[in-house]
Chain A
């Protein structure tokens, strides 16, 4: 009983801190890479110029999540590439711009005119070396069979990557696969001659690389555009006009420079975007208040999901222990839930719960079930038979048996399960950042994206500390709840 009181108190504290965000303000989304975040900040800045209050769900976990969120109206605008739109999202690879606009309109969506740069795959080499050999286009590579190609693993494997490219151009060289970041270093140290890159990579000017002309037009066009919901035209006409006004304003060099300021000079995306738009940068909060805010967000995710999991998993575990055969089915299902990849669960949840904390809590809830159900089941079935039988034989009603005998005897095992679930939950909740739930995952994602260890630690250290605290808390609860008779018995 005391356990419930402690837990419900914890639950209350956590829910009190849950911030509610206004539903009416339009929201910008961006993907989990720097360029998309910058474009998201630019869209946000344009809104501020138009006198609108908008939110920015930054670095969401992938194209699918943003697309779903846009369709469902959890976000109103996000930057996308026409190639991705045609091939991945609408699945009409041959479509021209008009056809794409029509397909979007059918879904209540629209897109702006291209922003001015084409962020497709390209091949690049050091400028100096290219000039030396007189190479300007990909076709020119044919004349130099000795050139060493080092290509990113993904590009090596994609059918429209190296296999298709070498065939289309009849390139005689063979290529090695390696990590994208290592490829830049390889080029700089002249260990490689040619690598694949994105046209707006910040590293292009930094390493003084030449982007080779795709003279056969092999790579599909990846024009940057903003996708937005059609109803935004009524809700924020000035903003839509401003977004449309971005047509052809950002060329590849400009985008490279903006990327470089964030990735290489470590400025914030918001500051870079505001500076480029010529407006004041929004105020940034200090590290302490940032960590505090994320702590609240993280606690909300962990507290609510774990609390709900307790409410469901404990009765399920008890039920599974009492009905052996159905119990096996319950254990199998909760086990299966554990194997679902979190990103897949998030995508699945969007139509039901949107983006933000709710789908993350739902996923964390599902992941917390197994340890609790399994340990409750194991704790109850592990009670010595003679004790269970005696409890029945002396005429105790079933509910007294459960509350006064079986649960106290299984308590340690059950609490161990809850502890496991809680610690895993704290760690897994960092993935919530992929779906806009905030928490400690936010700085970790940004840190990975920007290769900034300090930022990663800003999320990882508090997450580790929180995991330890949660573990400590449950150890105290265990100490308080374990009856003295069991502690004595354990000592003997």
Chain B
């Protein structure tokens, strides 16, 4: 679905991506993991044209990502950030329907689709009338997700989607998202800090370090046959409760 070839990106003092080659499979869930500054978010932002490579090429659906047709390409991608990235001056329903309305969807069609997605994402219907500041963290995240799914895009990009949630809500949402991804059969790319979450949600993990790809594969693959010691170190660094209690 996406392919990056020899992509490099420099910021004034640091190198974000260093001649990165990466293929992201269609209709699968891919998690980008790696330490801070590895370039996970840069990759995700490049997929949707918020950042552009200094060198190299990003392709989406076998076409290079170009500024001229960005709007059209973006509408085939759903995008969710931490806390949902909701606009505070619009109600949940207005946030959700914003793009559909600019595309001249009828009010009825928008309402129907919204209700349908709210059910799918376990958002209570009465929450739709509320403003973001009146919603809980989990609800905001669900609204963000519904907004991303509104046009039924083939691709979903999620940047630390569950980062700001308390553990119980987070775990509940993780389970629901896994279910959702499995039923929707979309290409999902997500960035997370949490290796367990990545392994739980994604078919494929992409481990990055210092702007380069270290290893790509199923979680089991990375655990059982790491290509270098860093992979093992990273995959097992997270302390589980069993270790400490």
Residues of A bordering B, CB below 8 Å: 386-387, 389-397, 400, 404-405, 408-409, 483-486, 488-489, 492
Residues of B bordering A, CB below 8 Å: 48-50, 71-72, 74-75, 77-79, 81, 85, 87-91, 98-99, 102, 131-134, 147-148
Given A386-B81, A393-B74, decide whether A485 and B89 contact each other with a Cβ distance below 8 A: yes
Q: For A386, what are the chain B residues with a Cβ–Cβ distance below 8 Å? A: 81, 85
Q: For B90, what are the chain A residues with a Cβ–Cβ distance below 8 Å? A: 404, 483, 485
Question: A485-B89, A489-B132 known; 18 other A-B pairs, CB under 8 Å?
Answer: A386-B85, A387-B85, A390-B81, A393-B74, A394-B74, A394-B148, A396-B98, A396-B102, A400-B98, A404-B90, A404-B102, A409-B89, A483-B90, A485-B90, A485-B132, A488-B131, A488-B134, A489-B88
With beta carbons under 8 angstroms apart, the residue of A397, A484, A485 that contacts B102 is: A397
Q: How long is the Cα–Cα vector from A393 to B81 in the complex, in angstroms? A: 10
Q: Is the CB of A393 within 8 A of B79?
A: yes
With beta carbons under 8 angstroms apart, the residue of B50, B87, B88, B102 that contacts A393 is: B50
Q: For A408, what are the chain B residues with a Cβ–Cβ distance below 8 Å? A: 89
Q: Is the CB of A489 within 8 A of B131?
A: yes
Q: Is the CB of B89 within 8 A of A396?
A: no
Closest residue of B by beta carbon distance from A390: B85
Closest residue of A by beta carbon distance from B79: A393
Q: Is the CB of A486 within 8 A of B88?
A: yes
* Main secondary structure on A side of the interface with B: helix
Q: How long is the Cα–Cα vector from A233 to B127 in the complex, in angstroms? A: 82
**Which of B87, B91, B102, B131 gathers most chain A CB within 10 Å?**
B87
Q: Is the CB of B87 within 8 A of A387?
A: yes
Q: Is the CB of A409 within 8 A of B87?
A: yes
Q: Is the CB of B87 within 8 A of A405?
A: yes
Q: Is the CB of A485 within 8 A of B50?
A: no
With beta carbons under 8 angstroms apart, the residue of A387, A393, A405, A484 that contacts B48 is: A393
Q: How long is the Cα–Cα vector from A279 to B102 in the complex, in angstroms? A: 73
Q: Is the CB of A394 within 8 A of B88?
A: no
Q: How long is the Cα–Cα vector from A489 to B133 in the complex, in angstroms? A: 6
Q: For B78, what are the chain A residues with a Cβ–Cβ distance below 8 Å? A: 394
Q: For A395, what are the chain B residues with a Cβ–Cβ distance below 8 Å? A: 71-72, 74-75, 77, 99
Q: For B79, what are the chain A residues with a Cβ–Cβ distance below 8 Å? A: 390, 393-394
Closest residue of B by beta carbon distance from A393: B79
Given A485-B131, A485-B133, A489-B131, decide whether A394 and B91 contact each other with a Cβ distance below 8 A: no
The 5 residue pairs across chains A and B that have the minimum distance between CB atoms: A485-B131, A395-B74, A390-B85, A483-B89, A395-B75
Q: List 5 A-B contacts (CB under 8 A).
A: A393-B79, A394-B99, A395-B77, A484-B131, A488-B131
